[in-house]
Amino acid sequence: MDSADSLADGVRAGRRAAVSRAITLMESSHPDHRSEARVLLAALEAPAQPAVRVGISGLPGVGKSTFIETLGRQLTTAGHRVGVLAVDPSSQRTGGSVLGDKTRMPRLATDPDAYIRASPSAGTLGGVARATSQAILVLEAAAYDVVLVETVGVGQSETTVAGMVDTFLFLTLARTGDQLQGIKRGILELADVIAVNKADGDRRTEAQAAARELSGALRLVHGREAAPAVVTCSGLSGDGVDAVWAEVLDHRSRLGVDGLAGKRSHQRLEFAWALVRDELEQRLRRSEPVRRVRAQVREQVLRGELPAVAAADRILAAYDGDPDDDTGEPVN
C-alpha cells in the first residue's frame, strides 16, 4: 500500500488506480487500515464547489442501472465527471455485488469521465455506509463533481443513503402495486424527486397517468409546496432523463447554499451517531460475558421465568462487566 501522501496525490490528480486503492482502504475494517484511511481523508481536500450528491433508489427491475447509464453518459457528454457508488446490504447474503456492477453499465464503465464502484460485499449496513460515505469524499477530492449513490429499494438502506446525499431520487413503475408498496414502506417520504420509469412504447400513457395520480396524492399528504416532483422518463430511450435531472438540480438549488451546508452538517452528526450505534451493536454481539449469559437468559425468558426488562438488565450488566448481575426480579 502506498503511503497516504502519495495516495492522496494520486487521488487529487484524479488517477483511477489511486481512487480505487483509496476506496479499497475505506472499505477495510482492519484497525490499521482504518487509521490509514483517516490520515488519507485528512490529506484530501474538499472541492471548492460541493459536488452534486444524489441517491437513486428503486426495486430490482425498475431500471436503475439502465437509467444511471443513460444519465451518466448525458452528464459526461456535458462535461461532468460522474462517480457511481452502490449501497447494497443484500450482497452480504449472496456474497456477490448486485448493484454498481460494471457489467450492468457497460458504456458508462468504459467512459473515461465516469467511475463505477460496486458495493462492498461484506459487513453490516453500517460498515457499508461507512465505506460509502468515505468513498464519496475520495471521489469528490478526485474532481468527480457528480456522485450518484445507488441503492436497492428494500429495507433500511434507503434511509442510510438519504442521510448521505443532497437529493434522493426514487424510481418507480406505473403499476399501482409498486407505488402503494413505496408509500407503505415510507420510502416516498424520503424521496425529493420521483420518476415513473419505462414511460415508453405502450406504457407511456399509463406512466403519465400514474405520475399525475401519484403527484396528486403526494400533494394531499405533503401540501403543494413540500410535495416531491413527480415526472416520467425512459432510461432506455433517454426520453425525460434530462427533465429528471433538472428536477434534481432544482430541488438542490432550492436548499440554497446555506441550506445545503446545514443539511450536510446535520447528516455528518447523524452519521457519527449511526456509526457509534453500529459499533456498539457489534461489540455487544462479540462480548464474551454476554455470550456466557445469553443461553440462560433465553431459556428463562422463553419459560416465562424472567421478564423482558429484567432480561435486558442482566444482558447489559454482563456487557458492563457487572459481577452482581442477578436482578432476581419476579415474573409479572
Residues of this chain that bind ligand GDP (CB under 6 A) = 58, 60-66, 197-198, 200, 234-236
Q: Grid coordinates representing 292? A: 456466557
Is residue 157 within 8 Å of residue 89, measured between CB atoms?
Answer: yes
Q: In this complex, which beta carbon is closest to ligand GDP, that of residue 210 or of residue 306? A: 210
DSSP structure class, residue 49: S
Q: In this complex, which beta carbon is closest to ligand GDP, that of residue 157 or of residue 267? A: 157
CB of 313 to ligand GDP, least distance (A): 46
DSSP structure class, residue 61: T
- Position of minimal CB gap to ligand GDP: 63
CB of 189 to ligand GDP, least distance (A): 21
Inter-helix orientation angle 125-141/31-43, to 10° = 30
Q: Which helix (H) or strand (E) holds 78?
A: none
Q: Grid coordinates representing 227? A: 410535495
Q: In this complex, which beta carbon is closest to ligand GDP, that of residue 64 or of residue 314? A: 64
Nearest alpha carbon to residue 206 among 232, 180, 177: 232
CB of 207 to ligand GDP, least distance (A): 10
DSSP structure class, residue 103: G
CB of 105 to ligand GDP, least distance (A): 9
Q: Between vectors from CA 319 to CA 317 and to CA 322, what angle results, nearest 5°?
A: 40
CB of 65 to ligand GDP, least distance (A): 4
Q: In this complex, which beta carbon is closest to ligand GDP, that of residue 63 or of residue 120? A: 63
Q: In this complex, which beta carbon is closest to ligand GDP, that of residue 62 or of residue 274? A: 62
